Amino acid sequence: MAAANIKQVAKHAGVSLGTVSNVLNRPDLVSPATRQKVLDAITALGYVRNDSARQLRAGRSRTVAILVLDVSNPFFTDVVRGAEAVVEEAGGMLVVCNSGEDPRREQRHLDMLEEQRVQGLLVTPVSDGRHPRLDAFVERGIPVVLVDRGSGHPSRCSVAVDDVTGGRLAAEHLAERGHERIAYVGGPITIRQVADRHLGAATALAERDVPLDLQLVTTPSLSVDAGRQAADDLAALSPDRRPTAVFCANDLLALGLLQGSIAHGLRVPEDIAIVGYDDIEFAAAAAVPLSSVRQPRAQLGRTAAELLLEESINGVGHQHRHVLFQPELLVRASSDHHR
Amino acid sequence: MAAANIKQVAKHAGVSLGTVSNVLNRPDLVSPATRQKVLDAITALGYVRNDSARQLRAGRSRTVAILVLDVSNPFFTDVVRGAEAVVEEAGGMLVVCNSGEDPRREQRHLDMLEEQRVQGLLVTPVSDGRHPRLDAFVERGIPVVLVDRGSGHPSRCSVAVDDVTGGRLAAEHLAERGHERIAYVGGPITIRQVADRHLGAATALAERDVPLDLQLVTTPSLSVDAGRQAADDLAALSPDRRPTAVFCANDLLALGLLQGSIAHGLRVPEDIAIVGYDDIEFAAAAAVPLSSVRQPRAQLGRTAAELLLEESINGVGHQHRHVLFQPELLVRASSDHHR
DNA sequence: TCACAACTATGAAACGTTTCACTCGCGGCA
DNA sequence: TGCCGCGAGTGAAACGTTTCATAGTTGTGA
């Protein structure tokens, strides 16, 4: 009982071993009567297929892995849910692994996933740049799709969101509302997303009929605390030098900035307008509902999974693609005020 | 190159197949010279062990699965991170699966995990009560640890947090601050956590020298929106009937209630004190920093994983245990006011 | 009646490991 | 000298599937 196998099922049902396998994998090849006998034996013995053996022999797996930078980041959890839907729809199973932004943990996970010969891998690598480690997967016939990283690689698909456009949207919105002293709060600037959003915003402002400057306030991290710090700094400026509008690199910063500004007696958006990025669940629920740039997170996951499965099925005929999604600005109270 | 196996490595290194296996699994049995030859062959061929075959033959897996109700719930992501640390420390790999509170998806995941003969399973089942499905795992020798559910089961370990005590802590705090009209906002009351927190709070108030009532406001869900609804209801009451303090079943409700109360012109905590539950990241960053009952989430995950590994190693000698953690009240501005 | 197709069912080979009983040399000890 | 023990390495069996060539059984049309 502990571990019935196909052989015992075959004996119990009075058929051959191959027939049991056929019932499991190609039931239409088996006559209804035999099929039923086998199914009865299976339930009687509590048989459960051994996937190791199946995978060893069949040479293919049905589990797709997604390796994310941070399981507790809502961005990734939404991506996961999108990917999940597609993989499960296709009869597979999605397992989530967490690198925690630690290259060594990433390495360990990649090693074990390669040993497991997973069907495919969705991954946001810790570092930008080239990823020789991932080429091993591709050579082994395991498709890899990059999520929100290094698009354009010739030997794998990728999905990402256009952060430059996102920055542009936020900055244009603030400029249209009549703001002339606008700041960008974010950092470290070495993070591609932080840099791209800055670039988009700065470019948009510089291109205006009356070009505007984008004051850069760098933060040590993208946390609520860092946002509060930034609020302290801004509140200390004299009103005629203080930015009248701030675009934050993410919502955590923006929420911290919002809270800090209110604590300093600044009115939002009258004294200082704020736009965040990511549209996390709490953006709309903040003391002053937060304007934010929304990324199609679930869509990102869905598309990544679709590309992966397509490559997995099509194999050789597959053409690698790089999908770039467009973000969307949601204007809420924190910036909805004309100067 | 595509898929070198142990045999090819053996040939390339000029040794027998068993020796290669020994290098991989018991390197001390092999002389340094031979070992090096084999290692060179491995890198030369780009050999990566096939885990299916290994697991099939060796009969044991090194991946532990955690099946959670909702990957995007910060409670579970913290549990995951705790468990992760322990499993990786032990040389294993933790994979996360998401049931999304859907019994059918839970079922599918359990089926596939059983087929994969994972080393062990941490799970928060969708439904409370008995779980015949999980017994199959135990019979098959796969240890199961329940997380935050149905403790006391004789054939598996469990870890949970004492929600009754959590409710008690919150209620006692509010009573000590001089509140006499206290409400509990939460629902559906069929969720065990919601009911236990209510029970703890109601009991604590009833036991006081001057017994107090706990007014129950049920909500359709535990969301920010439901909290806002509750705020509308409370604000509509005349000030002499309105509760002066509210204990919410979780922080999402509390944040909604907070935001709604402020929108209705109520001062927090002067007009209405609020205590939440979970101490999510945004509790401290709310417009008025939110008092909350914190659960040792990561600790929960760590302990669950430790129990699992202990059972996995000890096997027969293992004694099932049920660990109950105590929550902790964090008093912040939203309730820090003496009447 | 015969040949042939269509349908079922069979059983052995193969997948890539781990494990274990074994052999082979060699040095030490009586 | 002969025996023993030991370290190093060997190779075959086994794990539980899937797959495939094959065999047996019916039914059909000429």
**Which stretches in chain A have pLDDT values below 50?**
1
Using the Cβ of B2 and the Cβ atoms of chain A, whether some distance falls under 8 Å is answered with yes
- The H or E element containing residue A157 is strand A157-161
d(CA B215, CA B220): 17
Q: Is the pLDDT of residue B150 over 90?
A: no
Q: What is the pLDDT of residue A1?
A: 46
For chain B, the average pLDDT equals: 94
Q: Please answer whether residues B40 and B13 qualify as being in contact, where contact means their C-beta atoms are separated by less than 8 angstroms.
A: yes
Among B137-141, B151-155, B334-338, which is the least confidently predicted range? B151-155
B85-112 residue pLDDT tens: 999 999 999 999 999 999 999 999 999 9
pLDDT of res. A2:
58
pLDDT tens for B26-54 read 999 999 999 999 999 999 999 999 999 99
Query: A29: which nucleotide lies closest, measuring CA to C1'?
Result: C8
CB within 8 A of B113, min separation 6: which ones? Answer: B65, B67, B97, B121
Q: How many CA atoms lie within 13 A of B65 on its CB side?
A: 29
Cα torsion angle, B273, B278, B279, B281, sign: negative
Contacts with B, A 130-189, CB within 8 Å: 136, 139-141
3-state secondary structure of A64: strand
Query: How many DSSP H helices and E strands does chain A contain?
Result: 12, 12
Whether B212 shows a pLDDT value over 50: the answer reads: yes
Kindly determine whether residue A96 and residue B52, on different chains, have CB atoms separated by under 8 Å. no
**Other C-beta atoms lying within 10 Å of the C-beta of residue B191:** 16
Q: Compute the nearest-CA separation of A207 from chain B (Å).
A: 36
What angle do helix axes B32-45 and B6-13 make, rounded to 10 degrees? 120
What's residue B2's pLDDT? 58
Query: CB distance from A3 to chain B under 8 Å?
Result: yes
Closest residue in chain B to residue A91, using alpha carbons only: B108
pLDDT at B68 over 60: yes
Selecting from A62, A80, A96 the residue whose C-beta is nearest the C-beta of B95 gives: A96
d(CA B147, CA B144): 10
Nearest CA in chain B to A4: B140
- Give the model's pLDDT for residue B1: 47
Contacts of A77 in chain B (CB under 8 A): 71-72, 77
- In our burial notation (b when 16+ CB lie closer than 10 A, e otherwise), range A92-125 reads bbbbbbbbbeeeebbebbbebbbbbbbbbbbbbb
User: What is the pLDDT averaged over residues B187-194?
Assistant: 93
This prediction's pTM: 0.91
pLDDT, tens digit, 9 for 90 and up, residues B278-294: 998 888 888 889 999 99
Structure token pair of residue B18 = 């068993």
Chain B residues near residue A69 by CB distance under 8 angstroms: none
Cβ atoms of A122 and A304 closer than 8 Å: yes
Q: What are B335's two structure tokens?
A: 């309730």
As a whole-number percent, the residues of chain B with pLDDT over 90 amount to 86
Tokens 């991954």 belong to A123
Q: How far apart are CA B160 and CA B301, in angstroms?
A: 10
Long-range contact set of residues B17-24: C-beta below 8 Å, sequence gap at least 24: B24/B49
Distance between CA atoms of A65 and A75, rounded to whole angstroms? 17
* pLDDT single digits (tens) A250-286: 999 999 999 999 989 999 999 999 999 999 888 888 8
Interchain contact, B93 vs A97, CB within 8 Å: yes
Residue B242 has what pLDDT? 96
Amino acid A150: pLDDT: 74
Q: What is the mean predicted confidence (pLDDT) over B169-173?
A: 98
Nearest to A143 by CA among A307, A323, A327: A307
Which protein residue lies nearest to nucleotide C6, measured between its Cα and the C1' atom? A29
Query: How many Å does it take to go from CA B323 to C1' C19?
Result: 39
Q: How confident is the model at residue B128 (pLDDT cuts 50, 70, 90)?
A: confident
For residue B208, count other CB atoms closer than 10 A to its CB. 12
- Name residue B322's beta-bridge partners: B158
